[in-house]
Amino acid sequence: MLSLEESLKILKETNALLEGHFILSSGLHSAQYVQCAQLLSKPHQASKICISLSEKIKAEFKEIDLILSPAMGGIIIGYEIGRLLNVETIFSERVNGEFNLRRDFFVKKDQKVLVVEDVITTGKSSLECTQLIKNFKAIVVGYACIIDRSNNRSLLKEKIVSQVKLNIPTYSKDNLPKKLLSINPIKPGSRNLK
């Protein structure tokens, strides 16, 4: 398994973990920004993270029948973890604002399902996947992600297994620390289309 230092090095080298002054989609400001799509666009580096995460998952969850990932961010990592664990993998998509299964995907009653995402912050997407799993009368065994930045404040009740845990402080516009005041902010991210 990769150490925390090795994992952070890969995340920084692939620009999945950036440092600077960022305005997040929530409107809050941060000195770090996470964009796992950058990591996953570099398969050679991403495979190292995924192999290590899959080893952690195997150690933590003894039985997994199915992996469910939320679109868009979770699809690639879900697929790769499923491939490494030899577990069927499906994904949910938003239809009229709610996660649903399409493309003839389904969850069987009593299946043990692991929810896999790229990043867990509040746990909102994972929680929506959890409700979907419960609607099929299946069992959520837990959650896995590349980066857990929930700081133990997520909405999730089951265990989260991650490759990296990050505590990234956020600040309101009126309460910025001195180091951020001297850096021009940028607004990155998939929800901030130009």
**Rounded mean pLDDT for each run of 10 residues along the chain, 194 residues in total:** 93 93 86 90 94 96 94 90 96 87 91 94 85 93 92 78 91 90 83 46
**What pLDDT is attached to residue 189?**
65
The model's pTM is 0.86
**What pLDDT is attached to residue 193?**
43
| Three-class DSSP labels, the chain | CCCHHHHHHHHHHCCCEEEEEEECCCCCEEEEEECHHHHHCCHHHHHHHHHHHHHHHHHHCCCCCEEEEECCCCHHHHHHHHHHHCCCEEEEEEECCEEECCCCCCCCCCCEEEEEEEEECCCHHHHHHHHHHHHCCCEEEEEEEEEECCCCCCCCCCCEEEEEECCCCEECHHHCCHHHHCCCCECCCCCCCC
pLDDT, tens digit, 9 for 90 and up, residues 70-99: 988 889 999 999 999 999 999 998 888 888
**What pLDDT is attached to residue 155?**
72
pLDDT, tens digit, 9 for 90 and up, residues 25-43: 778 899 998 888 999 999 9
**What pLDDT is attached to residue 27?**
83
The rounded distance, in Å, linking the Cα atoms of 161 and 61 is 9
Q: Which residue ranges make up each domain of the chain?
A: 4-181
**CB 31, CB 23: distance < 8 Å:** no
The rounded distance, in Å, linking the Cα atoms of 168 and 175 is 15
The rounded distance, in Å, linking the Cα atoms of 68 and 116 is 6
Cα-Cα-Cα-Cα dihedral sign, residues 159, 160, 164, 166: negative
* Fold classified for 4-181: Rossmann fold (3.40.50)
The rounded distance, in Å, linking the Cα atoms of 114 and 179 is 40
AA letter at 98: E
